[in-house]
Structure 1
Amino acid sequence: MDQNLQLYLIVLFVAVVVISQTILISATGTRANRNRLIKKQLEAIAESGKPQQQSLLRKSYLDKLGPTERWLENNAFGEYLGEKLQLAGLEWKAYKVAIWLTIAIFFSMFSILFLTQSIKMAIATPAIILIGFTFFLHHKSETRLNLFEEQFVEALDVMKRALLVGYPFTEVMRTVSEEMPPPISVEFGKTFVELNYGVDIKVALANLAQRNPSVSVLAFNSAVVIQKETGGNLAETLDKISNVIRSRFRLMRKVRTLSAEGRMSAWVLMMVPFVLFLMLYISNPEYLAPLLDSERGNTVLTVTAILMTLGLFWIRKLLRIEV
């Protein structure tokens, strides 16, 4: 019974922390569909750019590493993990993260196996660590991107003033990188470096949006590309984009306020079964023994977990409002 209870508590922990955060975290809509749309449009924007230019910063980063580090980093997994770390704003090397994760998994598995003598818990440990690390990256990425979007409105005002003074576009990017705080200063600084290296402006802006998948950045990219091809007053266009983004933020805050009751109801409905289970186990452990020890009880728990997961998806669908 003890091992079953421990395993069940682990499942409850994963269900509460991971599923709730990944499914209910967005009251104004998930970024998945939006990111797919951005990716398609970025490919169209950078269509005329040279493919080798798109990885210029990546090549510069790899050139600074030693032979062994470059061999560990220069592969599909290293590039994928490096992109996720970059989205999260973490200046960690991908191969070091992979090594530390591997060490943590093996150490945790042997520790849990030694302390509990439970093979099931030891086998479940890698999944829990990887899910937790994924959630950590997701949380850091969301926090960084939200801060970037808040700063982006101010950056548009800085760019508009610089353009009105008469600065060229490259100097405008440098001005933002010097006057604004991170993370937007870092991202515009990378774009400024790419432009100085001779990267096509479409590719440089596409790389900016790839590092910061946002509708606001995509609108900025489209305005700059169209202005470069057809002409026009870019400062006026940026002023209009800034006003639209501010209006969008006001609408997002209003939607979040109106959906607060639904999100709170979702948390209550999700936590009630877990709290009730713990209260019953503390007050009368023998009462739950048939549920944990019998085959029928395990079947009930499995069906309950499936139904609760379906309910979370349904609540997420009700709360998802695209802005």
Structure 2
Amino acid sequence: MCVLLAIAALAYAVLAAPVSRVPASRRTFGGTDQKSGLNFSSDQLVERVDDLLRRSSWTPFGAKELELAGLRITPGNVVVLVAAVAASVLSVITLLTGSFWFGLVLALLVPVGAKVYLFILTDRRRALFTKQLDDTVQMIASALRAGFSFPQALDAVARDADSPTAEEFARIINENRIGRDLVVAIEQTADRMASDDFRWVAEAVAIHRDTGGNLNEVLDRVGATMRERNQLREQVNALAAEGKLSAIVLMILPIALAAFYYWINAGYMAPLIGTSLGWALLGASVVLYIIGGLWMRAIVNVKF
């Protein structure tokens, strides 16, 4: 138990450190880097984990996955954070309940929860990008009418738009500057953000490059279509909100009831966690639980 608490304490500095967009050299006087011994140890731990992940062919949290979720941290940071939280959960639950195995089960759910959280952040970021896209297209069209070239219009969006649009357009500009075709960069961004609307922009630019014409008028029409689709999307989301809430309640209810019964009467749950048959039933329940969650997710997430 002491070992687990020591692991959690070692990674506490990483867990408590806020994620900031301001460089560390600007947050300290004179650009000096002032670190406590605990922070230095945690930084060394993160660096070693990052080196190990780079040498490995598999990583639980990839750099692209974190970037897509909008997190500016390394995979080593996430692994250390997840390990610290899992060790803390195992220690606290074991101390409170006296059951090491119950604490271990909850600790193993920590990396699963971290993955789910990354998926949620990615979905939110993609949804926000799609929501901002009609204004983005209008901004590009206005810049073209003002005499900007298309790359200059994209650069203006990268400077003036909100996140995550500014970040994704900055990526497009940077890739174009190192030699990648502009249409290809836009298409890859559309794939990254899973945006069918942005693929229309890529197709419009590709057609304009091949046939010519007034691109800003085409983008005006594309933007109008996007606004109509966004209005319809918001109506669908409003109608599906009740189903999503029901799905969340159904997913939380089994875990909450199991924890409640174990808390008020541990002996009531003993046959389930103290016998091989009980563990087999728990394993089957987890599999069915995951299948049911994916099924409900497919039902309540309406795509059009």
TM-score by length of 1: 0.63
The match for 1:138 is 119
Number of aligned residue pairs: 256
Distance 1:269 1:253 in 2: 24
Counterpart pick for 2:66 among 79, 82, 85: 85
Distance 1:289 1:197 in 2: 61
Distance 2:127 2:185 in 1: 22
Distance 2:233 2:161 in 1: 24
Q: How does 1:157-176 map to 2 (within 5 A)?
A: 157-176=138-157
1:197 is aligned to 2:216:
no
1:257 is aligned to 2:238:
yes
User: What do the CA deviations read for 1:135-183 (whole angstroms, capped 9, x no partner)?
Assistant: 2211221222222222221111010011122211110111111221222
- Measured after TM superposition, the shift of residue 99 of structure 1 is 3.8
The match for 1:233 is 214
1:321 is aligned to 2:294:
no
Segment drifting more, 121-130 vs 176-185:
121-130
**Higher-RCO chain (CA-CA 8 Å, sequence separation at least 6):** 1
Q: Which runs of 5+ in 2 are unaligned?
A: 1-46
User: What do the CA deviations read for 1:11-58 (whole angstroms, capped 9, x no partner)?
Assistant: xxxxxxxxxxxxxxxxxxxxxxxxxxxxxxxxxxxxxxxxxxxxxxxx
Q: Tell me which amino acid in the other structure corresponds to 2:162.
A: P
- Measured after TM superposition, the shift of residue 98 of structure 1 is 2.8
| CA separation of 1:206 and 1:267: change in aligned 2, threshold 3 A | closer
Query: Cα RMSD over matched residues?
Result: 4.0
Segment drifting more, 117-126 vs 136-145:
117-126
The match for 1:219 is 200
Q: Contact between 1:194 and 1:204, CA under 8 Å: does it hold in 2?
A: yes
| CA separation of 1:69 and 1:193: change in aligned 2, threshold 3 A | farther
Percent of aligned positions that are identical: 26
TM-score by length of 2: 0.66
SS in 2 for 1:89: coil
- Measured after TM superposition, the shift of residue 232 of structure 1 is 2.6
| CA separation of 1:181 and 1:316: change in aligned 2, threshold 3 A | closer
| CA separation of 1:236 and 1:191: change in aligned 2, threshold 3 A | same
SS in 2 for 1:251: helix
- Measured after TM superposition, the shift of residue 89 of structure 1 is 0.7
Q: Contact between 1:72 and 1:78, CA under 8 Å: does it hold in 2?
A: no
User: What do the CA deviations read for 1:54-90 (whole angstroms, capped 9, x no partner)?
Assistant: xxxxxxxxxxxxx989855655546961001111111
Q: Contact between 2:90 and 2:107, CA under 8 Å: does it hold in 1?
A: yes
Counterpart pick for 1:149 among 130, 138, 142: 130
Distance 1:274 1:125 in 2: 10
Distance 2:246 2:60 in 1: 40
Segment drifting more, 96-105 vs 219-228:
96-105
